[in-house]
Amino acid sequence: MCGIAGMVGGADSRLLRAMARIMAHRGPDDEGVWQDGDVGLAVRRLKIIDLVGGHQPMASEDEGCWLAFNGEIYNHPELRARLEAKGHTFRSRSDGETILHLYEEEGDGCLQHLEGMFGFALWDRARRRLLLARDPLGIKPVYYREANGRLAFASEAKALLLDPACPREPDLDALAAYLTFLYVPSPATAFAGIRKLAPGHALVFEDGRARVRAYWRPRPPERLVTEPAEAEILVLEALAGSVSRHLVSDVPLGVFLSSGLDSSSIVALMRRAAPGTPIRTFTLDFEEASFGEATAARAVAGALGTDHREFIVRPEVADVLPALVWHLDEPLADSSLVITHLIARLAREHVTVALSGIGGDELFVGYPRYLGARVAAGYARVVPAAVRRGLARAAAWLPDSARSDDPTGRLRRFLEAGPLDPHERYLAWISFWSTPALRELMPSLPAAVDPFARHREILLRAPGAGETGAGAATAVTALDLATYLPDDLLMLGDKMTMAASLELRVPFCDRQLCETVWSIDPALRSGFGLKPLLRRVMRPLLPRETLGRPKRGFSVPLASWLRGPLAGLAADLLAESRLRRRGLLDVARVRRVIDDHHTGRRSHADRIFALMVLELWQQAFWDEWPARRRAVLADLDRAPQGGDRV
């Protein structure tokens, strides 16, 4: 796992070294910089495979191509054997070297053969051409900036900001989307001058111009699997194969284990793949009973014979939150970012790689809102529109619940969105500010801005759009796979684990597994319970209690913390004087949200946390950035230069 950076056009050796240095947490083991005229690459490396070799940037045999690579290619042994049979000579055991030889053989077509997680840059010296690519599901981030015939890229946006020519002005459209969904959807970023490469996309830069294209996207299957027995066999084989591939490592690895089905399935399949190998598992616990999972996770660990460790989370996040927002690069207000980082720190004391169940919900229909999409279709068909409108108005009186599953809050949102058409209904469920409320909150937002536009477009052209019954969840899961999964869950997973110098692997976000699951009839994938197909597949391998346990989100008791231990931090970050100085948010509207939450009239925990993160982001990248940049450059000038070719 690494942090990569580089530029084509006006490459500056000092800036390249600074870009690598500011991402040192992504790769504490090694640093490399290569420059050839106006082109340069830089890498920080966390050694996972080929601990002795594998130094980057890496060259092909004739030095005609140079590579900066972040991630893991899980099928590299098979690719290596095929390439060696064609006469290619390898100089290391690194999976990254496989990309170089595969590019020599296939050109940009190499992307169709790579199974894994990656963000990489490959410079073709003869053609003076850069290929920049991101893995199909968006596990690893890639940021870039194109301006004046020059391209710069990096694993983190802060590396691009080190260039004084890179503007730091906020993108108001992106911030509106952030407040709506709590993350910034690709390809936008919170910075007006910086973009994210979308999942499954490649960028080619030549002749001073960038071209971006999708090299992979979900497609309808050639054959739809309709037999339950065949479906279960195919899924088990694909999931077991993915888990086995994700175990390739030259360093210790473990698993983030909750009490849920996804992470428990990973541990069970690890045990099946390597019966005698020790498995390390890590779990967080809370003092609030409805959020705690340690007892159930401990039972899974005991049943599967793992070396298990636990860590109690207390509401002392005020000490770490500013640093975490710095690592995020742009605002992201999923409160699970805190516990993701805390469990990563715990795990890093024992392992260098950790597996996680991220992606299982999107792939196997695991969120209650997917059931809601199915139920809502029948609700709209049976209940007259006038009655639905009346129930929507009455639902405002339903309170939020302090429980982690918030049943009354979910019922209120279901009823409030009842009069809407299916697409707008789902968008209402996954958003945190309606358009009128958002415009009240951000008075300066241009009238033409529609934060729902991209999500609506994806939803309307997704497979299964407009279906009812068993197929009702197909389109909404496709939307979440394209947006929420890469831009929220995988982004925070990458940033929060890399902040602890830990590599995160996500077996459910595997291209082969995804294509297998999408080939199965939606009637077999969804039902009136959550993840029915995965539960059937894992029934022989997991304890009955785990299979029957209701879903709990990977979340913190944020609502109660914001009325207690975190209330002071919220009051400070959202003080009237700060808000007026920023001039971005309406002071009265923010005050109403905070007051409603404190009095218990409504739980606004996610909205308040989003506003807190926004303020911390402004502090880090507006107020403190000049001093942070000077500190990086001063540290660089004090440190000795390495022996790389510059």
pLDDT at 34 over 80: yes
Backbone angles phi, psi at 29, to 5 degrees: -90, -25
| pLDDT confidence band for 295 (50 / 70 / 90) | confident
Q: Which residue has the higher pLDDT, 2 or 126?
A: 126
pLDDT of residue 469: 65
Q: Which residue has the higher pLDDT, 276 or 44?
A: 44
pLDDT of residue 50: 58
pLDDT of residue 49: 65
pLDDT of residue 286: 65
- The answer to whether the Cα torsion of 607, 608, 613, 617 is positive or negative is positive
pLDDT tens track for 461-514: 887 766 766 677 888 999 999 999 999 999 999 999 999 999 999 999 999 999
DSSP letter, residue 564: T
Distance CA 327, CA 23 (A): 9
Residues with Cβ within 8 Å of 190's Cβ and at least 6 positions away in sequence, in order, are 170, 171, 174, 175, 178, 184, 330, 331, 617
b/e map 233-265, b = 16+ CB within 10 Å: ebbbebbbbbbbbbbbeeeebbbbbbbbbbbbb
Burial category of 288 from C-beta neighbours within 10 Å (exposed 0-12, middle 13-18, buried 19 and up): middle
Which percentage of the chain shows pLDDT scores above 90?
A: 68
CA dihedral in degrees (424, 407, 296, 366; nearest 10)?
Answer: -20
pLDDT of residue 646: 45
pLDDT of residue 117: 96
Give yes or no for a contact between 155 and 117, defined as CB atoms under 8 angstroms apart. Answer: no
**Lowest pLDDT segment from 32-46, 164-178, 313-327, 402-416:** 402-416
pLDDT at 620 over 70: yes
| pLDDT confidence band for 170 (50 / 70 / 90) | very high
**Lowest pLDDT segment from 273-277, 457-461, 501-505:** 273-277
The tokens 């060259």 sit on which residue? 59
Largest CA distance in the chain: 74
pLDDT tens track for 401-440: 666 667 787 888 888 888 999 899 999 999 999 999 999 9
Distance CA 60, CA 91 (A): 9
Structure tokens at 141: 């981030």
Q: Which residue has the higher pLDDT, 191 or 556?
A: 191
Structure tokens at 352: 């260098």
Q: How far separated are the first and last CA of the chain, in Å rounded?
A: 23
pLDDT of residue 617: 98
**Which one, of 70, 451, 505, lies nearest residue 247 by Cα?**
505
**Lowest pLDDT segment from 126-135, 454-463, 570-579:** 454-463
Mean pLDDT of 541-556: 76
pLDDT at 204 over 50: yes
pLDDT of residue 569: 93
| pLDDT confidence band for 374 (50 / 70 / 90) | confident
Give yes or no for a contact between 30 and 47, defined as CB atoms under 8 angstroms apart. Answer: yes
pLDDT at 529 over 80: yes
Sheet holding 503-505, edge to edge: 307-313, 280-286, 253-256, 353-355, 503-505
Domains (range + CATH), the chain: 2-217 (3.60.20.10), 228-364+492-548 (3.40.50.620), 369-479 (no CATH), 558-625 (no CATH)
Per-chain mean pLDDT for the chain: 90
Distance CA 372, CA 473 (A): 9
pLDDT of residue 593: 94
**Lowest pLDDT segment from 111-125, 184-198, 231-245, 340-354:** 340-354
Mean pLDDT of 69-75: 94
Give yes or no for a contact between 366 and 551, defined as CB atoms under 8 angstroms apart. Answer: yes
Range of 254-258, 298-302, 490-494 with top mean pLDDT = 490-494
pLDDT of residue 643: 46
Give yes or no for a contact between 239 and 262, defined as CB atoms under 8 angstroms apart. Answer: no
Mean pLDDT of 564-575: 92
Q: Is residue 378 helix, strand or coil?
A: helix
pLDDT of residue 546: 84
